[in-house]
Amino acid sequence: MYGWLWRHLPGPTTVRVLISLALVVAVLAACFTWVYPALAPHMPFNDTTVGD
C-alpha cells in the first residue's frame, strides 16, 4: 500500500515527503475531529462501577 502511494505521488523525493507528511497530518486531524468522537460513546471506558 505504501509503495503504491509513494509511486503515485508527483514530484521529486522532497516533494513526496512533504505531501506524505501533509497526508498523515490530514488523516490524524480527521480521526481526532470526527472518528474518535463518534466512537467515544460506544466505548466502555466511561462506564464506572464505583458510584457515590
Task: For residues 45 and 18, give the distance between their C-alpha atoms in angstroms, rounded to a whole number.
Answer: 36
- Confirm whether 45 is domain-assigned: no
Asked whether residue 34 is domain-assigned, the answer is: yes
Residue 27 lies in a domain: yes
Domain boundaries, position 13: 2-38
| Residue 11 in domain | yes
For residue 5, is pLDDT > 80? yes
- The pLDDT score that the predictor gives to residue 52 is 60
Position 35 scores a pLDDT of 95
Question: pLDDT confidence of 51, banded at 50, 70, 90?
Answer: low
Average pLDDT over residues 1-6: 89
Angle, CA 27 vertex, CA 24 and CA 37 arms, to 5°:
140
Does residue 12 lie within any of the structural domains? yes
- How many angstroms separate the CA atoms of 46 and 34, rounded? 19
The tens digit of pLDDT for each residue in 6-43 reads 999 999 999 999 999 999 999 999 999 999 999 988 88
Chain-centroid distance of CA 32 in Å reads 7
Dist. CA 50–CA 52, nearest whole Å: 7
Assigned domain for 22 exists: yes
